[in-house]
Structure 1
Amino acid sequence: MRRHWLAREGADELTLVFSGWGLGAAPFTALTGAADVLVVNDYIDLDDPLPEVAGYARLRLLAYSFGVASAAHWLARTGVRPARLVAVNGTLHPVDPQRGIPPETVAGTADGLNAENFVRFCQRAGVTEPVPAIDYHAAAAELRVIAARGAAQEIPFNRIWIADGDRIIPTAAQVLAWSEQAAVVRRIPGGHMPFRPGQSWQEWFA
């Protein structure tokens, strides 16, 4: 996994973020109010124990988009138990005809991935900043690995956020996927990329 430290001031608490496919740390750079923030992405290999986590007294984890299932797989492998666990616009079934993105959509994205198609994806996601620079071959390979890895085991989340207008992971698919944890689901306006400059991290961990 790739690491992106957004803040590293030596606090007791680490905010760990599993980002979405292709977006890296970009969606989170303007959020405020956390002293130590580590964003990870690139989910081809989830055996990385992230030894940085062990140095903190308290860990909270926010998982976004395809980072939701990836975080759940990683937690199962490592045995790490965050004090608070939050999902945003993702499911434990990332490539799924009813509870995620349909398999044919993911396969088509991987097979046809290029600069033009990635810009189109970012526009559908609601990315307003400059499109991140990615390695298209590696990003396509990552999609195929995520699809082949499959669903993660059900684990309890403290909060699950679902956007009303998600055009990447359909809102209805997310609602169905989280039906067993409906008590902690909160609906929010907007699209797939709901993070906005000036928001505090605490808003998402509420």
Structure 2
Amino acid sequence: MPAQEHHIAVTRSARYFQLGALSAETRQVWFVCHGYGQLAAYFIRHFATLTDADPGLVVVAPEGLSRFYLRESANGQGRVGATWMTREDRLTEIEDYVGYLNQLAEATLAVVSANTRVTVLGFSQGAATVSRWLARARFRPARLVLWAGAFPPDMDFQVATQLMRNLPVTLVCGDNDEFVKPADLEEQRQFVRRLGVEPEVLQFAGKHTLHADVLRQLHASTF
């Protein structure tokens, strides 16, 4: 007789990092989701120059719920990364991170004014993560930024269309990205167009990474 698969809901701690102090004076909140194999503590450093220059900006970087060693080492000092999901038990992992991100957003936005502008940015694997999350989020952002990543191909087209209605979308990618080729970027652009949105496309000279000048440009465009 084959083993039967079961699931049980448990309580666990989820980690996130934050730049800036939440208050009634907060004008912008950015939720930024890292890519595969990254940790939020390092990912959020890319946004420090923005919050240093703008006290009205708060950046919140949640971390994927699954961590693993990127490289094994004999002394246990190997680098660690996090992932939002894998193909194993993927639907349960999606449920878990959507619930986690909704809880984090609810707690964050309860502190700020209703007029605070919210940007959601997903980098690489984080782009698919934020797309799935926003389809079931309890708030609507002012802008969605998909950086070196795309909508998940299995996302229901009708759900995606509803999500994208009147939602400004920016696609960002380096011109020498190892994982996102020009054809991939154009395919994503056409996909977003089919959802009824004309995306802004920003490119920079670089690879599969964030870029300080583009981040400053995105920040400046929200005023």
Question: Please, what TM-score do these two structures have when normalized by structure 2?
Answer: 0.57
Query: 1:86, CA displacement in angstroms?
Result: 1.5
Residues 40/85 of structure 1: CA separation in 2 closer, same or farther (3 Å cut): same
Query: 1:166, CA displacement in angstroms?
Result: 1.0
Contact 1:24 1:40 survives alignment (8 Å): no
Deviations 1:76-131 (A, max 9, x none): 112321112212111003xx6xxxxxxxxxxxxxxxxxxxxxxxxxxxxxxxxxxx
Residues of 1 paired with 2:183 and 2:151: CA distance? Answer: 14
Unaligned runs of 5+ in 2: 1-13, 52-56, 65-83, 85-92
Unaligned runs of 5+ in 1: 97-149
After superposition, where does 1:75-94 map in structure 2 within 5 Å?
A: 75-93=134-152
Alignment partner, residue 16 of structure 1: 31
Of structures 1 and 2, the one with the larger relative CO (CA 8 A, separation 6+) is 1
Query: 1:173, CA displacement in angstroms?
Result: 1.5
- Structure with higher Rg: it is 2
Report how many aligned residue pairs link the two structures. Answer: 149
Alignment partner, residue 177 of structure 1: 188
Residues 193/174 of structure 1: CA separation in 2 closer, same or farther (3 Å cut): same
2:125 alignment partner AA: F
Query: 1:74, CA displacement in angstroms?
Result: 0.8
Alignment partner, residue 18 of structure 2: 5
Query: 1:170, CA displacement in angstroms?
Result: 3.3
Residues of 2 paired with 1:157 and 1:66: CA distance? Answer: 20
Which 4+ runs in 1 deviate beyond 4 A? none
Residues 77/191 of structure 1: CA separation in 2 closer, same or farther (3 Å cut): same
Contact 2:32 2:61 survives alignment (8 Å): yes
Contact 1:61 1:84 survives alignment (8 Å): yes
Deviations 1:126-166 (A, max 9, x none): xxxxxxxxxxxxxxxxxxxxxxxx44635344321122111
Contact 2:173 2:180 survives alignment (8 Å): no
Residues 188/4 of structure 1: CA separation in 2 closer, same or farther (3 Å cut): same
Identity %: 21
RMSD between aligned residues: 2.5
2:133 pairs with one of 59, 63, 74 = 74
Deviations 1:43-62 (A, max 9, x none): 33222212233222322222
Alignment partner, residue 114 of structure 1: none
Query: 1:200, CA displacement in angstroms?
Result: 7.7
2:20 alignment partner AA: A
Residues of 1 paired with 2:211 and 2:202: CA distance? Answer: 15
